[in-house]
């Protein structure tokens, strides 16, 4: 019954879904593939194919160490990584070049997912975090293809929504072979939705292991000269920021730059297509604007003194944090839920964030408990924290050591997850096409 209702709603909603995808610039690419007009050809006929789904840039970044580890162990297995957004595609092609092939995730209509599964013939399906597509998971289960939730989590908002349809979610989760979850809280939430206790495991957050794969183990790939900084200037980097939050940050920077004119603010908007609007906001506060994309290769530019650099390029934020004196992670002063707190922590930088950390609650708590993370309730709290940091370099250095220890103490998740996945997916031989077809009948 539940699947019937779900599919009727999908059919009724198709025009609206299509319009929504067309209106979102970052979701337009690959639309013909997503609606099943174009499907991968010949990928699964003879090869082992491991299908990994990661929604966008952040999820792709998380799975890079995992995918690389699998590729080293099973070099003959073809790894296909699907995404929904264009930024996700770019991340796959740049960070997993020569290791994984990209495709876009099909829309969750039975006839579309059937075509994709028939074309890929995967030996296993891994979904990153919480992309639970009922028809896709059910069809994979029917064909005997194991599905694994990798680095799984459930935000409070998603959990409350799913509780309204718990009988349906119980059916959906019954098609999942294994859930490898970020926290005890996530494990409890999946169990409350009806997941089998035998299939849910709290293994930790794979983002802790990003630093073990070259991301932050050496010098940053960009340098102070990239931003045209003088020797005595200090960078305060605010990453993955959102509207309203940016105004709070700029108000704090007004106060800090008056007392410490050698502080330069870097704003890295979560969505770089907002850079033009953000530049106007910055100018309204009276600060000169420097666009990273328009800086010469040498980084030399004539603007000096307090200024705001907008990081309007992709793929540089994680390394830019390595140049920071102090850092702030966005989506936390506004009710978004927070972004990757570990990127600046991996460089040993004090991490400031707001009260809205539902998407990264366990990590936020660990950082605060360590003494190296600073949770601020509002702009005034942020200003006071920045002032304290600018006055005491020793305090900043000590905070950096504490957050780095959190990273070191929580690594090893990728290896645990790889071992668990090996227990449910067979990498001995590829699935023959006739087995796939018979499983569907």
Catalytic annotation, residues: 59
Task: Identify the sign of the CA torsion 153, 61, 377, 352.
Answer: positive
How far apart, in Å, are the Cα atoms of 217 and each of 64, 189, 212, 221, 319? 15, 35, 7, 11, 11
Structure tokens at 79: 């790894």
Structure tokens at 349: 């930088």
C-alpha triplet 395, 410, 360: angle, nearest 5°: 75
**SS3 category, 297:** coil
Residues pairing with 180 in the sheet: 150, 201
Residue 246 to residue 244: CA distance in whole angstroms = 5
Residues pairing with 290 in the sheet: 309
Residue 355 to residue 378: CA distance in whole angstroms = 8
What strands lie across the sheet with 48-53, from one edge to the other? Answer: 100-104, 77-83, 48-53, 124-128, 147-152, 178-181, 200-202
- By the 8 A CB rule, do 308 and 275 touch? no
Q: Is 266 exposed, middle or buried (0-12, 13-18, 19+ CB in 10 A)?
A: buried
Residues pairing with 236 in the sheet: 265, 326
The percent helix, strand, coil of the chain (3-state, each to 5) is: 50, 15, 35
- Under DSSP, the state recorded for 154 is -
**SS3 category, 306:** coil
- By the 8 A CB rule, do 289 and 307 touch? yes
C-alpha triplet 353, 358, 360: angle, nearest 5°: 65
- Torsion angle, alpha carbons of 198, 199, 203, 207, to 10: -170
- φ, ψ of residue 298 to 5 degrees: the values are -75, -15
Residue 403 to residue 397: CA distance in whole angstroms = 10
How far apart, in Å, are the Cα atoms of 19 and each of 10, 24, 30, 160? 14, 9, 14, 27
């Amino acid at each position: 019954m539940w699947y019937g209702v779900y599919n009727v709603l999908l059919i009724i909603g198709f025009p609206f879904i299509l319009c929504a995808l067309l209106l979102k610039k970052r979701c337009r690419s690959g639309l013909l593939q997503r609606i099943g007009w174009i499907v991968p050809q010949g990928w699964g006929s003879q090869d082992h194919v491991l299908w990994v789904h990661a929604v966008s840039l952040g999820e792709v970044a998380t799975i890079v160490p995992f995918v690389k580890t699998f590729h080293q162990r099973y070099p003959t297995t073809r790894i296909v990584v699907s995404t929904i957004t264009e930024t996700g595609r770019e991340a796959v092609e740049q960070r997993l070049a020569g290791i994984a092939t990209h495709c876009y995730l099909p829309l969750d209509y039975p006839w579309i997912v059937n075509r994709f599964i028939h074309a890929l013939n995967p030996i296993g399906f891994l979904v990153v975090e919480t992309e639970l597509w009922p028809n896709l998971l059910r069809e994979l289960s029917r064909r005997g293809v194991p599905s694994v939730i990798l680095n799984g989590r459930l935000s409070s908002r998603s959990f409350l929504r799913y509780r309204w349809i718990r009988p349906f979610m119980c059916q959906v989760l019954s098609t999942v072979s294994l859930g490898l979850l970020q926290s005890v809280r996530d494990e409890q939430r999946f169990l409350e939705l009806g997941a089998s206790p035998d299939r849910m495991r709290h293994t930790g957050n794979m983002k802790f292991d990003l630093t073990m794969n070259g991301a932050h183990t050496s010098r940053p790939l960009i340098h102070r000269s990239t931003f045209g900084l003088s020797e005595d200037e200090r960078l305060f980097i605010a990453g993955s920021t959102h509207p309203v939050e940016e105004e709070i940050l700029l108000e704090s920077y007004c106060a800090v730059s008056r007392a410490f004119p050698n502080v330069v603010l870097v704003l890295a908007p979560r969505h770089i297509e907002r850079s033009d609007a953000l530049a106007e906001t910055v100018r309204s506060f009276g600060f000169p604007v420097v666009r990273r994309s328009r800086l010469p290769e040498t980084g030399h530019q004539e603007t000096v003194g307090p200024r705001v650099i907008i990081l309007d390029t992709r793929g540089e934020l994680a390394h830019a944090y390595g140049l920071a004196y102090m850092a702030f992670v966005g989506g936390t002063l506004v009710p978004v839920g927070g972004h990757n707190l570990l990127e600046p922590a991996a460089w040993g930088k004090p991490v400031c964030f707001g009260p809205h950390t539902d998407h990264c609650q366990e990590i936020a708590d660990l950082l605060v408990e360590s003494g190296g993370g600073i949770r601020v309730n509002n702009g005034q709290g942020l200003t006071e924290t920045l002032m304290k940091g600018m006055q005491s370099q020793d305090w900043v250095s000590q905070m950096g050591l504490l957050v780095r220890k959190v990273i070191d103490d929580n690594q090893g998740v990728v290896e645990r997850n790889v071992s668990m996945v090996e227990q449910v997916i067979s990498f001995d031989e590829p699935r023959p096409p006739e087995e796939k077809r018979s499983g569907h009948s």
